[in-house]
A = this chain, B = another copy of it.
Amino acid sequence: MPMTYASPTAAALAGRLNDLRRQRPVVHNIINPVAAEVAAMAMLAVGASPVMAEGPEEVVAVARASAAFTINLGTPTESNTYAMHLLAEAAPGLGRPWVLDPVGVGLTETRQRLAELLVRRRPTAIRGNVDEIAFLAATHAGTGSAPAARGVDAGGETADIIAPAARLARATGSVVAVTGAVDRVTDGERVFSIANGDPMMTRVTGMGCALSCIVGAFLAVGPDDPAAATAAALATVAVAGEQAAADAAGPGSLRSAVIDRLYDLDPDRLADSLRLEVATVASAVEA
């Protein structure tokens, strides 16, 4: 699997966690009420400074005062949908990296239309589960019919999603990240595969949303290689989750433990624990 692109090592990804903690970027998030607290906790734990705001009157100003922003479709209302559009429209002028989390995009036409318009605004990264990314790939990159939605917390295998995700990345110019049993990040050329994490993490509500916010924080401090920055975010949360799950009695304890681990995760330990593969899309799809 040799590549013509930079193929960051586990240590290089882990080093980005140091950058984040040193710079403490302010990250603005339009998020949903279910995930708002755990996302803010996770961001503070990892070293970022979260701001949640969704008033149409102020969202652009808040994003301007931030180093990155995220838009999460978790609970679209008339008011926050308007704010999402204002913010995405302002994105090119703001020059900030931003993340789209297309929560439950296949669930309703409302979300589908909203995601469609937001994807066209060229988010720096799109982070979703297998269903959500398959849906966007089908609608934006012509990869076949969209799958039926199975709720908003689907986990599962991710090997088959690599090709559609890479096509979505090439069609949009966004880094595409898919979380599941193995997490995948692709810029259309490279695929980062991260085989860490724990199935119980899918029982901690809002962890996917929190992860998308953390992607925003890593993008803020890693503009040199957005795919590597995104992969570093996924690596950090997957390893923290894996270590937290090792002695969690259930998802309630795990919610606390993963925040604790994000707070004290040592970059060297992160590098040691990371099961990372970086490959070309072509070789990953054949594998």
Residues of A within 8 A of B (CB): 26, 32-38, 40-41, 44-45, 49-58, 61-62, 65, 74-79, 81, 104, 107-111, 149-153, 202-206, 249-253, 255-264
Contacts and interface: CB of A to CB of B under 8 A. Distances in A.
User: What's the number of copies of this chain in the assembled complex?
Assistant: 3
A26 B250 contact: no
16 contacts: A33-B37, A33-B52, A34-B36, A34-B40, A41-B255, A50-B153, A53-B104, A55-B75, A55-B76, A61-B107, A61-B108, A62-B107, A250-B264, A252-B256, A252-B257, A255-B259
Given A44-B153, A79-B77, A149-B65, A104 B252 contact: no
Contact of A263 (B32, B56, B203, B262): B203
Contact of A255 (B65, B204, B256): B256
B203 A44 contact: yes
A203 B52 CA distance: 15
Contacts of A32: 36, 52
Contact of A76 (B58, B77, B262): B58
Contacts of A79: 77-79
A231 B36 CA distance: 29
Contacts of A253: 256-257, 259-260
Nearest to A153: B49
Contact of A104 (B37, B51, B77, B202): B51
Contacts of A78: 55-57, 79
A258 B252 contact: yes
A255 B81 CA distance: 31
A108 B62 contact: yes
